Amino acid sequence: MKRMKATIAYDGTNFAGYQSQPNMRTVQSEIDKALVKLHKDDSVYSVASGRTDSGVHALGQVIHFDTPLDLADRWKMALNVLLPKDVRVVHVEEVADDFHARYGATGKTYVYRWSYSEVQSPFERNFAVHLGRWNPNVERMQEGAQHLIGTHDFTSFCSAKTATTNKVRTIRKLSLERQGDHLVLEVEGDGFLYNMVRTIAGVLLAVGIGWDEPEDVRKIRDAKDRKMAGKTAPAHGLYLMEVTY
Amino acid sequence: MKRMKATIAYDGTNFAGYQSQPNMRTVQSEIDKALVKLHKDDSVYSVASGRTDSGVHALGQVIHFDTPLDLADRWKMALNVLLPKDVRVVHVEEVADDFHARYGATGKTYVYRWSYSEVQSPFERNFAVHLGRWNPNVERMQEGAQHLIGTHDFTSFCSAKTATTNKVRTIRKLSLERQGDHLVLEVEGDGFLYNMVRTIAGVLLAVGIGWDEPEDVRKIRDAKDRKMAGKTAPAHGLYLMEVTY
């Protein structure tokens, strides 16, 4: 058996999230169906770096799976032929037997995108959150973001449903930048709690449009109470960009 | 009554084309539904510059409609609130009573997009035609395109089902250019026959990949026979960019 690592991109729009669920179209179930077909109906299951919610996109999700097959450089093509066009395998390589897509991950990078255009382009409706009449002050958002960089307890920034007990995470980088018609938040950390990036996006937007002060981000963080953080930003602005090992 | 001109953008992916058809989701039926709602169930119908096929996109489709309402600068917002997010009104203005979106059009510009990337981005699957293993020679395509610029009988370049008798049209500009990861064909003319841009795209791609010679484009044109032109290029690479009056 060989252990393979694959990098996956998907448009999350028409999926009920990443993780397999009975009677739902999920990214994982499409990948596992393709793997099973390629292995002539032998059970082959993939393990991902983590799940993503319905509507969330990925350019660099990482999975691993074990296989008796040796397809050399034809893995990518073989899987893409079997996958629907909204999931693509962008890279495949053989890795050591102890490589683990989830437990071996040392960092993840996410991007959150808003669009400024007065009327949202119909081509963007699933790929960026329309700011509409809001014109957030990016400097204020950057100022607020400083309170999140570093090692903190992120209880206020994750879903109340989060099962994980340890809510301490390290954010290594958190930037906000206007890129053409978009406002782009990029965040890199050792790991993220459930809904953490979308909650951060919601809190920083509230600062940008003047509902909260940059200093409030520190107060929300220190409260360790999800109710302090306001609304989670919509799923369709979020992209899993990279997982590092 | 006032006559209004509106510029419309749409993602053609989830539409059975532009024109209303019983029991089908079309762009026109969504626009007319929004107009009827806005007019409190009075019949108001729009007239477009022309139809587009299922899967074809638009950034600058033009329609007109007559209305007793005076919404001043709120037309765009009022319609966009009622429309689904894959159709957007990008501009509305009052025009003279004799303005006609279809009969008054003096020119149209279309774009056709192919993507070069080795693995097609899942975000592009409905918005550009993947070239895959083809790497067309753009100079050859440009050379072939010269035989289409000017006033010609385009019988070979329209669907055999075209009802129009006069198949003479003038192409004012036809360019091919690599733009980053895309090959972009832009064509501007006084009017286009049914499937004409997609047939031109198919013929020029065949020249680009060496199946035909640039000189063959002239032969296909002069044959005035649709069977000479090979396969029509897929709908989802095509965009109606602008209609001039």
Residues A139, A195 share a domain = yes
Q: Are residues B50 and B137 in the same domain?
A: no
Q: Mind listing the pLDDT tens digit for each residue in A9-54?
A: 999 999 999 999 999 999 999 999 999 999 987 889 999 999 999 9
Mean pLDDT of the region A173-187: 97
**What pLDDT, on the 0 to 100 scale, is given for residue A236?**
97
Q: Cβ distance B64 to B91 under 8 Å?
A: no
Provide long-range contacts, Cβ within 8 A and 24+ apart, for B80-86.
B80/A119, B82/B33, B82/B34, B82/B37, B82/B38, B83/B30, B83/B31, B83/B34, B84/B30, B85/A120, B85/A122, B85/A125, B86/A122, B86/A125, B86/B10, B86/B11, B86/B13, B86/B14, B86/B15
Q: Do A85 and B120 touch (CB under 8 A)?
A: yes
Q: Are residues B149 and B236 in the same domain?
A: yes
Average pLDDT over residues A96-114: 98
B196-208 vs B214-223: helix crossing angle, rounded to 10: 150
ipTM score here?
0.90
And the tokens for B139? Answer: 């100079």
Q: Which residues of B are annotated as a binding site?
A: 110
B43 pLDDT band, cuts 50/70/90, is confident
Euclidean distance between CA atoms A67 and A37, whole angstroms? 13
User: What does the pLDDT average to over B46-68?
Assistant: 97
Last residue of a domain, one of A95, A120, A140: A95
Mean pLDDT of the residues in chain B: 95
Identify the pLDDT of residue A41.
79
Would you call A9 and B121 a contact, using CB atoms and an 8 Å cutoff? Answer: yes
- CA A116/CA A131 separation, integer angstroms: 5
* Residue-wise pLDDT tens digits, A191-238: 999 999 999 999 999 999 999 999 999 999 999 998 888 889 999 999
The whole-angstrom separation of Cα B18 and Cα B28 is: 6
Residues of A in contact with B85 (CB under 8 A): 120, 122, 125
Of all residues in chain A, the one with the smallest CA distance to B120 is A88
Classify residue A104 by its DSSP letter. Answer: T
Q: How far is Cα A204 from Cα A211, in angstroms, rounded to an integer?
A: 10
Which of A11, A32, A53, A212 is the catalytic position?
A53
% of chain B at pLDDT higher than 70? 100
Task: Give the mutation candidate from B88, B130, B236 for the A interface (greatest A CB count, under 10 A).
Answer: B88
CA pseudo-torsion sign B21, B26, B30, B32: negative
Could A119 and B80 be called an inter-chain contact, meaning their C-beta atoms sit closer than 8 Å?
Answer: yes
- In chain B, which residue's Cα lies nearest the Cα of A120? B88
pLDDT-based confidence at B164, cuts 50/70/90? confident
Out of B11, B86, B119, the one facing A88 most closely (by C-beta) is B119
Q: Say yes or no: B13 and B120 in one domain.
A: no
Q: What is the CATH number of the domain that holds B178?
A: 3.30.70.660
Is residue A162 over pLDDT 80?
A: no
d(CA B140, CA B212): 10
Q: What percent of chain A has pLDDT over 70?
A: 100
- Mutation for B interface: A57, A88, A133, most B CBs within 10 A: A88
Given the residues B32, B41, B42, B53, select the one marked as catalytic: B53
Residues A139 and A232 in one domain: yes
Contact A120 B86 (CB under 8 A): no
Report the gap between the CA of A83 and the closest CA in chain B (Å): 11
Question: Does residue B27 lie in a domain region?
Answer: yes
| B13 Cβ neighbours under 8 A, 6+ residues apart | B55, B57, B86, B126, B236
More confident residue, A162 or A147: A147
Tens-place pLDDT, residues B210-224: 999 999 999 999 999
Query: Average pLDDT in the B158-178 region?
Result: 91
pLDDT at B82 over 90: yes
- Which structural domain, as residue segments, surrounds residue B214? 107-244
For residue A69, tell me if it sits in a domain.
Answer: yes
Dist. CA A12–CA A14, nearest whole Å: 6
pLDDT number for residue B141: 98
**Model confidence over B225-238: pLDDT tens digits?**
988 888 899 999 99
A129 plus A215 within the same structural domain: yes
State the pLDDT at residue A231: 87
Among residues A39, A74, A95, the one where a domain terminates is A95
Report pLDDT for B19: 94
pLDDT at A151 over 90: yes
Please give the pLDDT value at position B42: 83
How many domains does the structure of chain B reveal?
2
Q: Which amino acid is at B7?
A: T
- Whether the pLDDT of residue B162 is over 80: the answer is no
Instruction: Indicate the pLDDT class of residue A107, thresholds 50, 70 and 90.
Output: very high
Helix segments in B46-149, DSSP class H:
75-82, 138-145
Closest in A85, A121, A123 to B122, CB measured: A85
Q: Please report residues of B whose CB lies closer than 8 A to that of A113.
A: none
Looking at the fold, whether A160 and A226 belong to one and the same domain comes out as yes
Q: Do B86 and A125 touch (CB under 8 A)?
A: yes
Identify residues of B whose CB sits under 8 angstroms from chain A CBs: 9-11, 57, 76, 80, 85-90, 119-123, 125, 127
pLDDT at A72 exceeding the cut of 90? no
**Catalytic-residue membership of B53:** yes
Q: Look at residue B100 and tell me if it is in a domain.
A: no
**Tokens linked to B19:** 């024109």
C-beta separation of B228 from B147 below 8 A:
no
